[in-house]
Amino acid sequence: MRDYMNTHHIAKILGVNIQTVRHYIRKGELRAARVGKRYVVTQEDIDDFLERRKESLALERLGLSEKGRETVARIREDAARVLTYLEECPAASAGEISKALAMKKADTQRALLRLEGKNLAHSEPKAGENADKQRDPWYAGSRVNHEGPPAGA
């Protein structure tokens, strides 16, 4: 069973005023359910909110142009599509992913790099690097369990 928290608990956790929490909920930044006259939020919702907030603040510090923000948003969307595909076909190569999702290979590579940075996917070795295709879960036909990233990735 999930643990639900009210706005008072969330305000303490986030170190903000209760009105600020309600503001986040009304703007749709913090997912919440209404129970009677009160809002309740799960820990998972708080974690998602904090992750999005962290990324948002990092992008603000970069001072990206509108085109830069659009590029970042596109890469995020591509990464979400690639991750969904990798859940179905965990050993697919970048070429296979590009073809299956009708994406440019460069866009697929950017999405994979984003996922790799979050330890959600593995990248193919760069040109000139040796790869043991039998042990690396990135490759189709690998004998390794595809439950997650290899140790140390």
Q: Is the pLDDT of residue 72 over 50?
A: yes
Q: Is the pLDDT of residue 149 over 50?
A: no
Domain-located, residue 20: yes
Domain-located, residue 68: yes
Q: What is the pLDDT of residue 3?
A: 81
Domain-located, residue 108: yes
Domain-located, residue 99: yes
Helix (H) or strand (E) holding 13: helix 7-14
For the chain, the domain total comes to: 2
Q: How many CA atoms lie within 13 A of 52 on its CB side?
A: 12
Q: What is the pLDDT of residue 127?
A: 58
Say whether both 55 and 75 belong to one domain: no
Q: Is the pLDDT of residue 111 over 60?
A: yes
**Token pair for 55:** 């990324």
Q: Which residue has the tokens 């969904």?
A: 84
Distinct helix (H) and strand (E) counts, the chain: 6, 3
Domain-located, residue 32: yes
Domain-located, residue 151: no
Say whether both 55 and 85 belong to one domain: no
pLDDT band at 71 (very low <50, low <70, confident <90, very high): confident
Read off the pTM.
Answer: 0.48
What is the domain extent for residue 69? 64-117
Q: Is the pLDDT of residue 17 over 90?
A: yes
Helix (H) or strand (E) holding 111: helix 105-117
Domain-located, residue 18: yes
Say whether both 88 and 108 belong to one domain: yes
Say whether both 53 and 69 belong to one domain: no
Over the stretch 29-66, which tens digit does the pLDDT of each residue have? Answer: 999 999 898 899 999 999 989 888 887 787 778 777 88
Say whether both 15 and 30 belong to one domain: yes
Say whether both 44 and 72 belong to one domain: no
Q: What is the pLDDT of residue 140?
A: 41
Say whether both 71 and 39 belong to one domain: no
Say whether both 75 and 109 belong to one domain: yes
Say whether both 23 and 68 belong to one domain: no
Instruction: Measure the CA–CA gap between 29 and 149, rounded to whole angstroms.
Output: 30
Average pLDDT along the chain: 77
Say whether both 53 and 98 belong to one domain: no
Say whether both 99 and 73 belong to one domain: yes
Q: Is the pLDDT of residue 112 over 80?
A: yes
Q: What is the pLDDT of residue 20?
A: 94
Please, what sign has the CA dihedral across residues 77, 79, 83, 86? Answer: positive
Instruction: Measure the CA–CA gap between 132 and 83, rounded to whole angstroms.
Output: 23
What does the pLDDT average to over 120-135?
Answer: 55
What's 52's domain CATH number?
A: 1.10.1660
Over the stretch 37-47, which tens digit does the pLDDT of each residue have? Answer: 889 999 999 99
Q: What is the pLDDT of residue 124?
A: 56
Say whether both 29 and 76 belong to one domain: no
